[in-house]
Amino acid sequence: MSMDKQTTQAMIDEVLEVYPEKAQKDRAKHLAVNETNGEGKCITSNRKSQPGVMTARGCAYAGSKGVVWGPIKDMIHISHGPVGCGQYSRAGRRNYYTGYTGVNAFGTMNFTSDFQERDIVFGGDKKLSTIIDELETLFPLAKGYSIQSECPVGLIGDDIEAVAKTKKAEIGKTLVPVRCEGFRGVSQSLGHHIANDTLRDYVLDGTDPEAAQAEAGEYDVAIIGDYNIGGDAWSSRILLEEIGLNVVAQWSGDGTLTELENTPKVKLNLVHCYRSMNYICRHMEEKFGIPWLEYNLFGPTKCEESLRAIAAKFDEKIQAKAEEVIARYRAEWQPIIDKYKPRLQGKKVMLYVGGLRPRHVIGAYEDLGMEIVGTGYEFAHNDDYAKTTPEVKDATLLFDDATGFELEFFAEKLKPDLIGAGVKEKYIFQKMGIPFRQMHSWDYSGPYHGYDGFAIFARDMDMTLNNPCWDKLTPPWKQEKDSEAAAA
């Protein structure tokens, strides 16, 4: 289906009708029709959600503990505050890592100070310092601690920085107080920013790049903003290593504190998730003179583009190797496309994800002959939309911080064959009879990065879309038609 701008605009106008005047005015700025020539109106983003609507956004704590700090495996991340924030987000993001959980790796464990009424009344600093002592006894191999504040810590005004400073002097390990109280900012995006700032202040600034343990090599690179969801960073890393680069650090999927400390010596920072880790790249660019490059390893077309772009930053030896790798993998992905493309050709996809996927996965879908009819971000900024516009076709629907109502409305109007969004949307759309993939943590599958990941991606999309179970469900709009027809 090729859409035209009028139809898409009409759909936007229709969805806006339900809102009261003030909310309507605000929401109108967040919905747009794509114009690839860049002449379309600028979509408003990174604004407070309207009260009373169902938003899919997270909080600053989610951005810091869940996204940026959480995957660093050899540190203990203390969820400082009530027990729920840590417990309900525990291990949900599937940041894979190697190591012995509870011995030298702590990724899937939940550490919390479990605030009670007493701690709110008298402050939780004492408890925090007790916990750190206890953790030191129980987990002596932990390389450091991060204190991830939950809302009450900010509200009662605890001085976690002071505790961190005292304890750091006492135990001699990296201790990072992170002021990522959930109420800060409009979405998890500020949590990423705060986490990046603490990485800068407590990890990078605390280390002397000259004294870093690793010897600097000519082809050292760091993977930034890959959280190893379902093993994504591993399937990216092997490609980079095959073209001759030396991956020094993974920020932060399957990453360690030592890796982070060694990063200031790399030659190039490779940024996967720009939204959550651009801050630290900016800092390293200014302070250490490390250039950075955004890359995209979803689907063979983008893999080839990215590998060439990365190789172009290095010498001819790397460039020749990149071509070799690209040629070698062609024999691997061509059969995958031959197998799945006929089954998926022309299917329409609607996306609503987080920081980079609404634009990055488009290439992978297009490689399979699928079409993107609508895409949107939960917590993007203006630069994300500027990068999305050229990726999607003219007249494609764009939505920022879409509400539950809008998403359901768009699904009914656009009639996508597949929806890719988060777990909050998953069961609603499945009950509507629309094939759905949870695109935040790959629906318990993955990795999707690289050539190896593409094989899994293609299989998963086929498995979901062509699953016979969808015929057994009737979407609400079809039900209505049937009953109308019966009445007539």
Partner 1 sequence: MPNLIISQTDDGLQAYIAKKDLELAVASLEFQQADRWGGNIILADGSEFYIEPLSEAPSLPKTLRARRAG
Q: From the CB of 276, what's the least distance to partner 1, in Å? A: 12
Catalytic residues: 59, 62, 93, 192
Q: From the CB of 275, what's the least distance to partner 1, in Å? A: 10
How far, in Å, CA of 334 to CA of 341, rounded?
Answer: 10
User: In the complex with partner 1, which residue's Cβ is closer, 381 or 459?
Assistant: 381
Q: What is the 3-state secondary structure (H, E, C) of the chain?
A: CCCCHHHHHHHHHHHHCCCCHHHHHHHHCCEEECCCCCCCCCCCCCCCCCCCCCCCCCCHHHHHHHHHHCCCCCEEEEEECCHHHHHHCCCCCCECCCCCECCCECCCCCEECCCCHHHHHHCCHHHHHHHHHHHHHHCCCCCEEEEEECHHHHHHCCCHHHHHHHHHHHHCCEEEEECCCCCCCCCHHHHHHHHHHHHHHHHHCCCCHHHCCCCCCCCEEEEEEECCECCHHHHHHHHHHHCCCEEEEEEECCCCHHHHHHHHHCCEEEECCHHHHHHHHHHHHHHHCCCEEECCCCCHHHHHHHHHHHHCCCCHHHHHHHHHHHHHHHHHHHHHHHHHHHHHCCCEEEEEECCCHHHHCHHHHHHCCCEEEEEEECCCCHHHHHHHCCCCCCCCEEEECCCHHHHHHHHHHHCCCEEEECHHHHHHHHHCCCCEEECCCHHHCCCCCHHHHHHHHHHHHHHHHCCHHHHHCCCHHHHHHHHHHHHC
User: In the complex with partner 1, which residue's Cβ is closer, 266 or 290?
Assistant: 290
Q: From the CB of 44, what's the least distance to partner 1, in Å? A: 11
- Cβ contacts of 206 within 8 Å, gap of 6 or more: 174
User: In the complex with partner 1, which residue's Cβ is closer, 155 or 386?
Assistant: 386
User: In the complex with partner 1, which residue's Cβ is closer, 193 or 437?
Assistant: 193
Q: From the CB of 380, what's the least distance to partner 1, in Å? A: 11
How far, in Å, CA of 20 to CA of 28, rounded?
Answer: 12
Q: From the CB of 190, what's the least distance to partner 1, in Å? A: 7
Q: From the CB of 393, what's the least distance to partner 1, in Å? A: 22
User: In the complex with partner 1, which residue's Cβ is closer, 190 or 421?
Assistant: 190
Q: From the CB of 216, what's the least distance to partner 1, in Å? A: 21
User: In the complex with partner 1, which residue's Cβ is closer, 282 or 328?
Assistant: 282
User: In the complex with partner 1, which residue's Cβ is closer, 289 or 468?
Assistant: 289
Site for partner 1, rule CB under 8 A: 46, 189-190, 193, 282, 285-286, 381-383
